[in-house]
Amino acid sequence: MDWYPLFNSLRIAAVSTVIVFFLGIWSAYYIAKAPRAVKGLLDVALTLPLVLPPTVVGYLLLLILGPKRIAGRWALETFGLRLTMTWWSAIFATAVVIFPLMYRTARGAFESFDETLAQAGKTLGLSNTFIFWRIRMPACRQGILAGTVLAFARALGEYGATSMIAGYTPGKTATISTTVYQLWRTNEDGLALRWVLVNLAISTVVLLAVNLLERKEKRTWR
Amino acid sequence: MALTASIRKRYGDFLLDVDFTAGNGGVLALLGASGCGKSVTLRCIAGIERPDEGFVVLNGRTLFDSKKKIDLPPQQRHIGYLFQQYALFPNMTVEQNIAVCLPKQEKSRCRARITELIAMLRLEGTEKLLPRQLSGGQQQRTALARILASEPAAILLDEPFAALDSYLKWQLELELQDVLAQFSGPAVWVSHDRGEAYRNCGKVCVLDRGKSSPAVSLRELMTDPVTVSAARISGCKNYVPVRPGNGAGQLAVPDWKLSFRAAAPWREGVTTLGIRANCVHPAGTEEINSFACETVRVTEDVFSMLVMLRPEKAAQDAPLLRMELRKEIWMALPEQKQIRVAVCPEDLLLLE
């Protein structure tokens, strides 16, 4: 059995989770403080990928990143780089799809944060950076951690947008989900089932980890 | 050294309009009912909220000035703020809560200062505990230690005992007095409790629906309040419209169809007569300012009786007179349904 799809899926999920971790927290932090009208509008725009069919997301991404489109042509002309049909093209797709998960959980955590802690920190002379990383983030740890794990799990399972933007090339862009589909299509049921089991195992482990984390949090924060 | 604040800020219909100076002569109490803008005032001074206009000056240093466009961030104001719920950092131990607030200095001097503060606020043994493992009193002392660690130039206390059970308050009040006595800068104590203010503060500034009155000593507030709101916060219970009567020193109370002799001369702007419930006492016919009343209602309190009286000739919708007296005096009265009471001329408060 060729393990490339597992390796590829994991690295795509890992890289996109790291990107979305920072992007999601950054936008959640600023949008949580934004005026109500701006907040409502941005909220809709940023949550859209969560409810859109992944194929629609893939289509929209191709509209931007395709070799004949704005960003795609620019990258091709300046760097000689094709943004689609490589293993890392899938990162665009997964990042967009998992962004709302990270953003929404982080925003929820930030909004339930007791602002007087930050205010107290300021009157005590602590810098805004210190307050963010040493007071706000630890207090919101649970929500942010849950968001990260969920985002990672969803990234592992991304199929629709990934298949459109990265396609399926064995040993190059193949991920677990695209491999399962390809194997099923070509009547290799036994192998498909093996990958299904691998995927089930990974997802179960991730969800167990979330539950375990939550239980530990409850015990320490009671 | 002094903290001067002159702040105006509008929230919809509510207008905050506060002027006061807190100097070194003891703590200044900011006294008012809840929702009158006390906490907002402190937040404006600390730089957490921005006033619409006005200025805040601490020891000659301008912290905020709407005209000169000065608005220092809270970090540069050096104002210690004791929050109602203390706002201790939940993820740090007592020791860490204090340590992060120390100014940058050598490690050994940091350690020495932490030890000193922990001893001063009797926090020995709690160094490694998290805030949620502390009692209410320990939380407050940790918050104070943290404020002192940051070396503030002024201290603001927002209802320091609001979060505590009443039986704990007295001991903590004594400790807080000690801390404030050692602190050399100006301090402002926000409270809604006149007793707390009386025991701990030298001067008081009464805040009524966002508007501050000039600061007076607490003794003045208790003996002769000038406005109805000041009288109310000082604990006066009876208010009735008043007019100058026939002759010098005479007052007319049309609602009760009574006239009184007052010790204080009439002054312009007075509209209301204030009478403290404990200044009303049973009296004989010959006593000055005495009048007959009908007892409407009697309520037994812990140590006293609260008696609601209707002056004999009072209109049906006139305010009742509340009398508070010791239980044994009330019990000893031969007649409780119809009684004669009096108020001494010096106990009549002329209020604007």
| Nearest beta carbon to residue B75 from set A125, A138, A139 | A125
Distance (Å) from the C-alpha of residue B330 to the closest C-alpha of chain A? Answer: 50
Chain-chain contact of A126 with B101 (C-beta, under 8 angstroms): yes
Query: Of B202, B225, B248, which marks where a domain is finished?
Result: B225
Compute the distance between CA of residue B198 and CA of residue B218 in angstroms, rounded to an integer. 6
Asked if B220 and B246 sit in the same domain, the reply is no
Compute the distance between CA of residue A3 and CA of residue A24 in angstroms, rounded to an integer. 31
Asked if B280 and B312 sit in the same domain, the reply is yes
Measure Cα distances from A131 to A125, A126, A146 in Å.
10, 7, 22
Contacts of A126 in chain B (CB under 8 A): 75, 100-101
Asked if B64 and B168 sit in the same domain, the reply is yes
Instruction: Report residue B281's pLDDT band, with 50, 70 and 90 as the boundaries.
Output: very high
Query: Of B201, B225, B249, which marks where a domain is finished?
Result: B225
- Cβ–Cβ pairs < 8 A, chains A and B: 60
Question: How confident is the model over B266-282, as a mean pLDDT?
Answer: 93
* Residues B45 and B5: beta-carbon distance below 8 Å: yes
Looking at chain B, how many residues does it have? 352
* Domain-located, residue A32: yes
* Domain-located, residue B103: yes
- In percent, the amount of chain A with pLDDT more than 90 equals 48
Contacts of A117 in chain B (CB under 8 A): 87, 89-90
* Domain-located, residue B233: no
Asked if B280 and B147 sit in the same domain, the reply is no
Asked if B251 and B164 sit in the same domain, the reply is no
The CATH number linked to B295 is 2.40.50.100
Provide the pLDDT for residue A219.
54
For B86-130, how does the pLDDT look when each residue is reduced to its tens digit (9 = 90+)?
A: 999 999 999 999 999 999 888 899 999 999 999 999 999 999 999
Chain-chain contact of A125 with B101 (C-beta, under 8 angstroms): yes
Distance (Å) from the C-alpha of residue A125 to the closest C-alpha of chain B? Answer: 4
Task: Tell me if chain B has a CB within 8 Å of the CB of A121.
Answer: yes
* Domain-located, residue A117: yes
C-beta atoms surrounding B123 within 10 Å: 21
pLDDT at residue B167 is higher than 90: no
Tell me, rounded to whole angstroms, the distance of Cα B14 from its chain centroid.
20
State which residue of chain B sits closest to A138, comparing Cα positions.
Answer: B91
Provide the pLDDT for residue A216.
63
* Domain-located, residue B230: no
* Domain-located, residue B294: yes
Task: Tell me if chain B has a CB within 8 Å of the CB of A119.
Answer: yes
Q: Crossing angle, helix B136-149 and helix B107-120, to 10 degrees? A: 140
Provide the pLDDT for residue B83.
94
Asked if B171 and B87 sit in the same domain, the reply is yes
* Domain-located, residue A118: yes
State which residue of chain A sits closest to B87, comparing Cα positions.
Answer: A117
* Domain-located, residue A114: yes
For A19-47, how does the pLDDT look when each residue is reduced to its tens digit (9 = 90+)?
A: 999 999 999 988 888 888 888 899 899 99
Measure Cα distances from B50 to B53, B61, B141, B206, B242 in Å.
8, 17, 29, 22, 41
Distance (Å) from the C-alpha of residue A216 to the closest C-alpha of chain B? Answer: 15
Contacts of A113 in chain B (CB under 8 A): none
Asked if B191 and B99 sit in the same domain, the reply is yes
C-beta atoms surrounding A205 within 10 Å: 10
Distance (Å) from the C-alpha of residue A52 to the closest C-alpha of chain B? Answer: 39
Asked if B140 and B281 sit in the same domain, the reply is no
For B194-232, how does the pLDDT look when each residue is reduced to its tens digit (9 = 90+)?
A: 889 989 998 999 998 889 988 888 888 888 888 898 898
Task: Tell me if chain B has a CB within 8 Å of the CB of A35.
Answer: no
Contacts of A130 in chain B (CB under 8 A): 100
* Domain-located, residue A71: no
Question: How confident is the model over A206-214, as a mean pLDDT?
Answer: 80
Contacts of B81 in chain A (CB under 8 A): 119-120, 123
Task: Tell me if chain B has a CB within 8 Å of the CB of A139.
Answer: yes
* Domain-located, residue A165: yes
**pLDDT, averaged across chain A:** 88
Angle at B154 between CA B216 and CA B131, to 5 degrees: 115
Q: How many domains does chain B have?
A: 2
Provide the pLDDT for residue A222.
39
* Domain-located, residue B231: no
Report residue B219 as tokens.
């003794």
Provide the pLDDT for residue A112.
87
Chain-chain contact of A122 with B75 (C-beta, under 8 angstroms): yes
Question: How confident is the model over B271-279, as a mean pLDDT?
Answer: 94
Q: What are φ and ψ of residue B22, in 5° steps?
A: -105, 120
For B290-300, how does the pLDDT look when each residue is reduced to its tens digit (9 = 90+)?
A: 999 999 999 99
Beta strands in B35-124 (DSSP E): 53-58, 61-65, 70-71, 79-82
- What is chain A's alpha carbon radius of gyration, rounded to the nearest angstrom? 20
| Nearest beta carbon to residue A123 from set B74, B85, B89 | B74
Coil, helix or strand at residue B285: coil
Provide the pLDDT for residue A221.
47
Beta strands in B94-210 (DSSP E): 154-158, 187-191, 203-208
Chain-chain contact of B90 with A139 (C-beta, under 8 angstroms): yes
**pLDDT, averaged across chain B:** 91
Residue B336 lies in domain? 238-351
Task: Tell me if chain B has a CB within 8 Å of the CB of A191.
Answer: no
The CATH number linked to B210 is 3.40.50.300
Compute the distance between CA of residue B351 and CA of residue A203 in angstroms, rounded to an integer. 75
Chain-chain contact of B47 with A123 (C-beta, under 8 angstroms): yes
Q: How many domains does chain A have?
A: 1
Contacts of B117 in chain A (CB under 8 A): none
For B52-78, how does the pLDDT look when each residue is reduced to its tens digit (9 = 90+)?
A: 999 999 999 999 999 999 999 999 999
Provide the pLDDT for residue B6.
95
Q: Per DSSP, what are the bridge partners of residue B191?
A: B31
User: Which of A84-93, A141-150, B161-170, B325-334 has the lowest average pLDDT?
Assistant: B161-170
Provide the pLDDT for residue B297.
93
For B128-149, how does the pLDDT look when each residue is reduced to its tens digit (9 = 90+)?
A: 999 999 998 899 999 999 999 9
Asked if B242 and B216 sit in the same domain, the reply is no
The CATH number linked to A88 is 1.10.3720.10
pLDDT at residue A81 is higher than 90: no
Nearest to B210 by CA among B19, B3, B5: B19
| Residues belonging to chain B with any Cβ–Cβ distance to chain A shorter than 8 Å | 43, 46-48, 73-75, 77-81, 83, 85, 87, 89-91, 100-101, 103, 132, 146-147, 149-150
Question: How confident is the model over B296-317, as a mean pLDDT?
Answer: 92
Chain-chain contact of A123 with B81 (C-beta, under 8 angstroms): yes
Asked if B136 and B247 sit in the same domain, the reply is no
Provide the pLDDT for residue A220.
52
pLDDT at residue B168 is higher than 80: no
Query: Of B168, B197, B225, which marks where a domain is finished?
Result: B225
* Residues B304 and B327: beta-carbon distance below 8 Å: yes
| Nearest beta carbon to residue B89 from set A119, A135, A221 | A135
* Domain-located, residue A62: no
Asked if B117 and B206 sit in the same domain, the reply is yes
Asked if B345 and B204 sit in the same domain, the reply is no
* Domain-located, residue A148: yes
Contacts of A221 in chain B (CB under 8 A): 132
